[in-house]
Amino acid sequence: MGCCQTTIPRDMSFYDVTFDRGFNTSQIWNFSPCSYAVLMEAETFNFSTAYISTAKFNDRNAGRVPVVLDWAIRNGEMSCEVAKRNEKAYASLSDNSECVVPPNGPGYLCNCSKGYEGNPYLLHGCHDIDECSRNPCPSVLTVGFLGHLIFSFFGSMILQRRKLNQVKREHFLQHGGTLLFEKMRSERGIAFIVCTEVELIQATNNYDKSRVIGKGGHGTVYKGIVKGNIPVAIKRTLLRIAHKAAEGLNFLHSCASPPIIHGDVKTANVLLGENYMAKVSDFGASILAPSDEEQYVTMGQDGPDMQRSLSSNFLSAMKENNLDAVLPSHIKGQESTGLIRGLAKLAKQCLDMCGSSNRPSMKEIADELERLRKLSLHPWADNRESKPSRWNINC
C-alpha cells in the first residue's frame, strides 16, 4: 500500500486510527509485512524509502517517537470568563497568575503573570523572577559611575549653553546693541523689533526671489512677516559691508604712513555705523609694515579649528568644482551664478598658500568686490558668468 502522511487539523477533539482486517495484504506481504500508524511531532519526522519495505521506522527507538501534546482545561465549552466565576473549580491556584485562551480549541490555560515563573496550578506556585541571577545587575560602583557620567553630560550642556548665551550677548553689545536699546527708550513713539538671523530667513521664505521689492546700492530689500503678522522690509547688505571693509584695510595698507597690518580681521571686528557703513575696529593685534626691503614681517595666527576646517572644505570643493557642497542653503538660488562664483574665486585666491606674491592686494580685492557688487545690481547678471580675474596663480 505504501506510506501516507497527514496533519492533524486545529480544534479536533478526537483522534483514532484503525486497520481494516478485511484488506488483502497477500501481494505486499513479502516486502511490507507490517502495518502501523503513529501520532508524532511533525518536525522530528524525516521520510525514508526504507520505511516502506522494512520495519526500520518501527524498530527505531524501540518503537517510540516524540509527540507534543496540545492540551487545555475543558469542561464543555468553558472559557476564562466562565472559569473565573467558579472559584472552587478554577484551576489557577497561585497568586500572580492569570487565565489565557488556548491556541487550539476551547477551554482555558493558566500562566504565571509577567515577572513571575513557576506552576500556576499549585498554591503559591508562581514566584518572583530573580532577574539579577539571569542578567547580572550593575554594581553600586557602575550605577554611581553612570550617574556621574549623566550628571557631567547635562552639566556640560548647561555650561555650553550659558557660554553661548554670553557670546551672543557680547556680540550683540559689540555691534551696537546698547545704542539700539537707548534709542528705543529715547524715542518712545517708535517701535523696534530685534530679530535673529533664523527669524529673518523664515520671514523671507529663505530670501525667496518672489519677496524682493527693490534693489539699490546698499543691497536687496525683501518683504517679510515677523512675530506672527507684522510686515517688514528686510535689507541684505553683506556684499557692500565686505567691500567697504576691504577699502578700509586697503587704506591701512597703502595710505597710512607707515602702513599698518591689522592682524585680526574677522566679522566681530567689522562694526556697522549709520547707513550700514562698515568700520574696521580692534587694532590690538596690529603691527607696522616693514619700511624697506631689508625688513620683513612674518605673521601667523592660527584661527579656531572650525575656521581651518571651513577653509579646507572650501578649497577642496573648489578643486572638485563642487561649490554647492559648501554653500549655505539660503544662498543657493538666491544670488546670480556669476556673483557667487566670482566671490568664490576671489576667496580661493586669498587663501592661496604658495606665497603672498600669488595673493591679491587689498586694493585689488576692494576693486573686485566693487565690480561684483555692481554686477549683482543688474538683472542680466543672473545668467552671466563673472569675467576672469586678472591674477594668475603659479605654484
Q: Residues 61, 65, 67, CA angle at the centre, nearest 5°?
A: 155
In order, the DSSP letters of 16-27 are -----TT---TT
User: What's the rounded Cα separation, in Å, for the pair 149 and 130?
Assistant: 28
Give me 357's grid cell: 606674491
User: What's the rounded Cα separation, in Å, for the pair 241 and 244?
Assistant: 5
Provide the greatest CA pair distance for the chain.
Answer: 130
Question: Is 235 among the annotated ligand-binding positions?
Answer: yes
User: What's the rounded Cα separation, in Å, for the pair 332 and 95?
Assistant: 68
User: What's the rounded Cα separation, in Å, for the pair 388 and 342?
Assistant: 8
3-state per-residue secondary structure call for 337-394 = HHHHHHHHHHHHHHCCCCCHHHCCCHHHHHHHHHHHHHHHCCHHHCCCCCCCCCCCCC
Q: CA 107 from chain center: how many Å?
A: 51
Give me 41's grid cell: 511531532
Of 347, 345, 346, nearest in space to 321 by CA = 345
Of 247, 258, 221, 207, nearest in space to 361 by CA = 247
Q: Is 15 helix (H, G, I), strand (E, B) or coil?
A: coil
**Can you say which residues are annotated as belonging to the binding site?**
235
Q: Which parts are annotated binding residues for ATP?
A: 235
